Amino acid sequence: MLTSTLTAFPAEAKSPDTARLRSLIGTAVPQAGAYALDNMGYGDGGGELAIGGLVLGGVIFGPVLGYMCAEEPGRGLSRAGIRAAVVAAAVGICEAGNCDVLNSAGPELALAGIVATAGGAYTVLLLGRDLSDVSDQVRARNQRLSAVSVWPAYFPDSRAPGFVVTWRP
C-alpha cells in the first residue's frame, strides 16, 4: 500500500522595506564600484567598458532584486528591458553613424544625445517608480498569502479525514 504525507509549509510574509533595500543596494553598489574603479585610474587604461558595464548594470538590473523579493521577477525584468532598450537605442544610433563621442559633433551624435537625455530622464523616473512600487508589490503578495487557508479536518457525516480549503478574495 502506498501512502503519502502532505506537509504544507506556509509561505512567510516578506518585508516591503527589505525589498526596497535590495533594490537600492542592487542599484547603488555597482555605482560605488564604478566610482572606486574610476578613482583608482582604472578607467584611464582602457577600463571604460568595465566601468560603464557596472554603471549600466546597476541602473538596468538593480531594481530587479526588489521584485525578486516580491516574487514578481517578470515585472522587474520587463522594466529592466525598457531601461536596456533606451541604452541600446542611444548606442545604436551613434554606432550606425560612426560617431565618436569625443571627436565629432555630427547629426548622429546630436540624435544619440537627445535619445540618451530623454531616455536618461525616463530611466530616472522609472527607477524612482520601481523603488516605490516594489514595496507595494510585496504588500500585495503578503495579502495574497493570507487569502488562502488550508487545514486538516474530520468530516463526521462520511467519517473521513480531509482538508478544508478556504479562499478569501
Whether pLDDT at 105 is above 80: no
Domain spans of the chain, in order of start: 16-167
Residue 70: is its pLDDT beyond 60? yes
Rounded to an integer, what distance in angstroms lies between the CA atom of residue 40 and that of residue 22?
Answer: 27
3-class secondary-structure state, position 165: strand
Mean pLDDT across the stretch 111-122? 76
Task: For residue 30, count other CB atoms closer than 10 A to its CB.
Answer: 21
Using alpha carbons only, what angle is made at residue 47 by residues 110 and 121, rounded to the nearest 5 degrees?
35
Give the model's pLDDT for residue 29: 93
The three cell numbers of residue 79 are 522594466
Put simply, whether the predicted model's pTM sits higher than 0.85 gets the answer no
pLDDT-derived band of residue 5, with 50, 70 and 90 as boundaries? very low
Q: What is the pLDDT of residues 76-102, one digit of tens each?
A: 899 889 888 887 877 777 666 666 555
Give the pLDDT mean for 22-28.
89
Average pLDDT over residues 60-66: 88
Tell which phi-psi region holds residue 165, choosing left (phi > 0), alpha (psi between -120 and 50) or beta. beta
User: Is 13 within 8 Å of 145 (Cβ atoms)?
Assistant: yes
Q: What was the pLDDT predicted at 4?
A: 39
Assess whether pLDDT exceeds 50 at residue 40: yes
